[in-house]
Amino acid sequence: MGGVAGPASGDVVVIVAFDQVQLLDVAGPLEVFTTANRCGAGYDVRVVSPDGRDVVTSCGLRVSVDASSEQLPGNPHTLVVPGRRDWRHATADPGLVPLVAALAARTRRVTSVCAGAFVLAHTGLLDGRRATTHWELAPQLASAYPGVRVEPDLVFVRDGHLVTSAGVTAGIDMALALVEEDHGADVARDVARQLVVFMARPGGQSQFSVRMTPPSRHPLLRRVMDEVTADPSVPSGIDALAASAGVSTRHLTRLFRRETGMTPGQYVDAVRLEAAKALLSSGTASVEEIAQQAGFGSSETMRRVFQNSLGVSPTVYRARFRTTGAGA
């Protein structure tokens, strides 16, 4: 499985492969860029390895490479650095880190997928920069490379010409966003349709559902959280929640901060945001109706929460996520 060269256009995309790399970290962006060529883009995708030899991925599949780094054009357009879960082996690889550093120095746009952020951090490229990785690895990235401003909850993060993404499928989201940046929304939408994936999760979207937050060990707080998630449209102001729980607003706020890291209002907004996203992507109700159903009360309130949390309006979110199939 090597890269498929697109039409000559100068848009050379280099994907670095190495032994025990996660297969989807390589295959996801590779499929996006090569599919984009069938939709009108002109990427020249090359897969390289530190020694120019084929590599064996973490699942045991052998991946062939297209060329050694010496055979690449002088200034590639995009560099993709995938990762491996045991990132310390990657950063200790005497051939991998120098290769990435050398390629990054002459590439216009440098990206990483999942634990590939550790390799970029090891080169010093992420010092003083915002970056993300798989949520489970984010504390390790922050600890091992304190100069990196780790954003643990985002799908992908852009800081200048550097773009880092979260675990595995987030590499597809990032690659789709880069295709959109290069060739417009229509081409990126065609690619998403071909690959049967969403078009595309905004980078600021959370990596995981608020409902996947580990349940609180405190029975009172767990009851309040369950009440909110069961029906986000019911009145859920801090005073109403506290009264329902039989405690003061100050005590409930302290519990929320201690157990979840959020205020009650932030938790309620997060649950309502998820409900609204589901309704926008799967239903036909108007934005105003969805704002009522999700508990926001008005479309303007919902719009502010969407803009602050995702960087897009509810209308734009719906356009990106709703099914594009004619018969759906």
Residue 2 is assigned to a structural domain of this protein? no
Are 219 and 75 in a shared domain?
A: no
Residue 202 is assigned to a structural domain of this protein? no
Residue 4 is assigned to a structural domain of this protein? no
Residue 247 is assigned to a structural domain of this protein? yes
Residue 327 is assigned to a structural domain of this protein? no
Within 155-223, strands assigned E span 156-159, 162-165
The CATH number assigned to the domain holding 67 equals 3.40.50.880
pLDDT at residue 37 in the model: 96
**3-state secondary structure at position 169:** coil
Are 58 and 170 in a shared domain?
A: yes
Are 290 and 181 in a shared domain?
A: no
114 is catalytic: yes
The CATH number assigned to the domain holding 238 equals 1.10.10.60
Q: 10 Å Cβ neighbour count for 248?
A: 12
First to last CA, the chain: 33
Are 179 and 46 in a shared domain?
A: yes
Are 149 and 272 in a shared domain?
A: no
Are 130 and 39 in a shared domain?
A: yes
**The domain boundary residue, chosen from 195, 227, 257:** 195
**The domain boundary residue, chosen from 195, 229, 255:** 195
Residue 3 is assigned to a structural domain of this protein? no
Residue 21 is assigned to a structural domain of this protein? yes
pLDDT at residue 263 in the model: 85
Q: Where are the alpha helices (DSSP H) in 106-218?
A: 116-123, 138-144, 170-183, 185-195
pTM: 0.66
Are 112 and 238 in a shared domain?
A: no
Among the listed residues 17, 26, 45, 114, the single catalytic one is: 114
pLDDT at residue 90 in the model: 97
**3-state secondary structure at position 224:** helix
Residue 303 is assigned to a structural domain of this protein? yes
d(CA 303, CA 309): 10
- pLDDT (tens, 9 = 90+) of the chain, 328 residues, equals 544 443 344 589 999 999 999 999 999 999 999 999 999 999 999 999 999 999 999 999 999 998 677 778 788 999 999 999 899 999 999 999 999 999 999 999 999 999 999 999 999 999 999 999 998 898 899 999 999 999 887 788 999 999 999 987 889 989 998 999 999 988 988 898 888 776 545 544 454 444 445 455 688 888 888 888 877 877 667 888 888 888 999 999 988 888 777 788 888 888 898 888 888 876 788 999 999 989 998 999 999 999 888 778 999 888 876 543 323 2
Residue-number span of the structural domain to which 237 is assigned: 210-321
Q: What is the DSSP string of 49-66?
A: -TTSS-EE-TTS-EE--S
Long-range contacts of 307-313 (CB under 8 A, 24+ apart): 309/204, 309/269, 309/270, 309/273, 310/202, 310/204, 310/205, 310/273, 311/202, 311/203, 311/204, 312/202
Q: How many domains does the chain divide into?
A: 2
Are 130 and 247 in a shared domain?
A: no
Are 217 and 177 in a shared domain?
A: no
Q: 10 Å Cβ neighbour count for 253?
A: 17
Are 294 and 150 in a shared domain?
A: no
Are 83 and 186 in a shared domain?
A: yes
User: Are 29 and 113 contacting, i.e. CB atoms less than 8 angstroms apart?
Assistant: yes
pLDDT at residue 198 in the model: 60
